[in-house]
Amino acid sequence: MALRIGGAVLDLDRGTLRRDGEIVPVRPKTFELLAFLTRNPGRVLSKDELLAAVWPGILVSEDSLTQSIRDARKSIGDEAQALIRTVPRRGYLFQPPETETVPAPAAATAAARAEPMVAILPFQVDPADAIAKALFDGAVEEITNALSYFKTIAVLARHSAFALAQHSTEDIRATAERLGADYVAEGRVEAADGDYSARVVLTETASGRRIWAQIFTFARDEIFAFQKTAAQRIATALVANIESAVMRRVQPAPAANVEAYLHLLRGIALLRSYGEGVNQEARAHFLEALKRDPGSGLAHAYLALADVIIGGYAGAPRAVLEQARDRALHAIALSPDEARCHRILALTLLYLGRDEYDAAEKHFVRALELNPYDADTLAQIGHFWALRGEGEAGLALLDKAIQLNPMHPGWYYADRAAALFVLERYQDVVASLSCLPRKSAWEWAWLAACHALEGDTEKARACARQGRALEPGLTVADILAELRIERAEDRERMRLGLQRAGWDAAV
């Protein structure tokens, strides 16, 4: 059953909320609260009744209910509190001016939906292990919540997914497809030698094809930190694999927004890769995405990022960086709650120069607020804080990003090296940069400076020769002019290391 609430449609069967035709990400408890309210229109519901309905058997404070009410109002556009009304000293009243049943979207329309939908089923746990059961049910809720932050993935609400799990194994795929889920994620938990081992499998509902499987192991003595850690790691892996699976599908012909979405994903994948011409090819995909969906904030943001990368990051002409900044600002105007738009604007401001750092920090922080589960955001804000002299805090975020995304792109190593340099851990800088399969002239410069500061002149000069061979015109003055490290003492150490390495004289 689907209910229309003003401009929003609450689909109780599929566990989705839409406004103006777009899925609105909502937290699982917020959805359950909305569902309970819509089933009881015109009746004052006490706080105790709402707490019992939405958090059965769990002791939570009234603050949790207040926050969920606030989120529910925001999700349906009821900031004026005209639909969900507070009744002083009694509770809450749901009284929409118009509530009508609307036809639920058929499963066949899933192919025309831009974003894929995944159902996260409760993990299979030994019924005798009550602690593990409660723990992993909580982890599934955290995973569902984490996925809701990613605007390119829709997630079936928790209560629908748990109801789905009651079906027989043969019926799960068919029922999931009827509910509109393109993918189902299932997990099986085993306990051995003091650890929990969770095997997570992602399956495509239409074909039954297994897309991805991975085993996650967690120590039992870390039980209280487990839920969020497991959720972050599994959610990060699911997002990457669902996006990859969508790109491998046969492209559906009709809907322009689906074509735009596929071009966007292909462009992002190319931008994360290495090779001749990949960034230019990624840019072409973003342009194609915008032809089909000019209102895609994310496509505008990634086009801005592609221009910055092609232009040479901090070495890009100022006109290129300013144009990218303006495009990223436009992206935020189109998608103000998309974390990646804020992150890309912050990066562009960073490359514009140190006088833009305060503005860049504002948008990095906003990106982290909007999606604390995005490993790339964690890595880049960690790098940024290191550039501002906060080496320990920056390194902690970078290491957390690597924990969430163990198969991370190579730039994580370079960003981590900058944090280690600020902390004067030169051997660790060398170790981090040594993980890069291909090094730029800039990375050879970091290596040359660190070997020199460690007193290894022979290795320092060898690295300087490698770097100058790649970019013969890159001088110490050029490096210092483009170096985005803020503190004068850190910049001076880089200058001293390059001077000792004989960078300018290297041939």
- What mean pLDDT value characterizes the chain? 81
Could you tell me which residues are beta bridge partners of residue 117? Answer: 154
**Count of CB atoms within 10 A of residue 81's CB?**
12
What kind and span of H or E run contains 469?
A: helix 457-470
pLDDT value for 179: 65
Higher per-residue confidence, 172 vs 411: 411
Q: Which domains does the chain have, with CATH numbers?
A: 2-105 (1.10.10.10), 108-248 (3.40.50.10070)
Does pLDDT of 437 surpass 60? Answer: yes
pLDDT value for 111: 42
Share of the chain above pLDDT 90, in %: 35
Q: Residue written as tokens 């955001």?
A: 377
Higher per-residue confidence, 376 vs 464: 464
Read off the pLDDT of each residue in 151-160 and give the average, rounded to a whole number: 67
Residue type at position 78? D
428 — pLDDT class (breaks 50, 70, 90): very high
Lowest-pLDDT choice from 174-183, 335-344, 430-439: 174-183
pLDDT value for 177: 67
**Count of CB atoms within 10 A of residue 66's CB?**
12
Read off the pLDDT of each residue in 66-73 and give the average, rounded to a whole number: 88
Q: Which ranges of 293-338 does DSSP label H, i.e. alpha helix?
A: 297-311, 318-334
242 — pLDDT class (breaks 50, 70, 90): low
**Cα(282)–Cα(274) distance, integer angstroms:** 11
pLDDT value for 107: 39
Helix and strand counts by DSSP (H, E) for the chain: 21, 13
pLDDT value for 166: 66
Classify 365 as helix, strand or coil.
helix
Residue type at position 60? V
Does pLDDT of 479 surpass 90? Answer: yes
Read off the pLDDT of each residue in 197-212 and give the average, rounded to a whole number: 82
pLDDT value for 487: 93
pLDDT value for 345: 97
Each residue's pLDDT tens digit, 295-328:
889 999 999 999 999 998 888 999 999 999 999 9
Higher per-residue confidence, 14 vs 84: 84
pLDDT value for 110: 44
Share of the chain above pLDDT 70, in %: 78
Does pLDDT of 256 surpass 60? Answer: no
**Cα(108)–Cα(496) distance, integer angstroms:** 65
pLDDT value for 246: 58
pLDDT value for 229: 64
Classify 2 as helix, strand or coil.
strand
Could you tell me which residues are beta bridge partners of residue 22? Answer: 19
pLDDT value for 62: 81
